[in-house]
Amino acid sequence: MLGGEMLSSQPAPRKGMAVKDNRQNIIDATDRLLRTHGLARLTTRDIAREAGVAEGLIYHHFKDKAELIFEVISARVRETKNHMQNLPLEVGKSTLFRNLENTLFSIYQAHYEITPIINTVFADQKLRARLQEIVRERKMGPRYAIEGLEVYLAAEQRLGRLSDAVDTGVLAKCLWMIGIQSAMLDRWMGNQHDENHIRREIRECLKTMMTGFEPRPAQNAK
């Protein structure tokens, strides 16, 4: 037995593959426990038991629990990260409205997944500080995603699909905040998590933003 895994008659996996499988197995086990038990009382002993490995193996793959939690968060937002990275490929395609709808929905989905973890992290000053350190080291986090969204908007602006009067940096931040706040509100209030409903609300927000807030000049009476 090695790290809690029974030997079998099957051919032994290559060393590199086994290391990779153990690492992913620990991440997956942590994710399951976070979904069912939350973060507040989660211990490396619990994670090792759930993953079926020796507790010491966790520290072979991860410097500390914060690094492991970061990997779980990264896994939950991977689809959104991929979407944001591929967003430049959508410049000039479909419609600006449709592209922004898909982007906001992707942001919403990611933050709906990670809000329970983030909320608990804020209650643990030491863990929060360590996670912030990891985010800075790896040059990740909302700042970079917002900057990427701004680059996309600026490209659409150059094509004439977005008004020249729009500050793309401000708009990118506003759009990101809409996605995050909507997800957090739905998590906190236990609101309906239905894609059609979420997209409908996103479309209404985009329509309001694209219409503008200033009153339109009254047309001359005929």
* Beta partners for residue 5, in sequence order: 2
CA pair distance 39, 101, nearest whole angstrom: 32
The whole-number average pLDDT for the span 133-140 is 90
pLDDT the model gives residue 2: 25
pTM: 0.83
Residue type, 182: S
Residue 170 contacts residue 177 (beta carbons within 8 Å): no
Residue type, 31: D
Percent of the chain at pLDDT above 90? 69
CA pair distance 3, 96, nearest whole angstrom: 51
Q: Cα separations (Å) of 94 from 90, 176, 179, 180? A: 8, 21, 21, 24
Tokens encoding 156: 């659409």
* Beta partners for residue 2, in sequence order: 5
The whole-number average pLDDT for the span 133-139 is 91
pLDDT the model gives residue 218: 67
Domains and CATH numbers, the chain: 12-62 (1.10.10.60), 64-211 (1.10.357.10)
The whole-number average pLDDT for the span 86-103 is 96
CA pair distance 37, 11, nearest whole angstrom: 36
The whole-angstrom distance between residue 109's C-alpha and the CA centroid of its chain comes to 7
pLDDT the model gives residue 20: 59
Tens digit of each residue's pLDDT (9 = 90 or more) over 15-36: 454 555 899 999 999 999 999 9
CA pair distance 83, 8, nearest whole angstrom: 41
Between 219 and 65, the higher pLDDT residue: 65
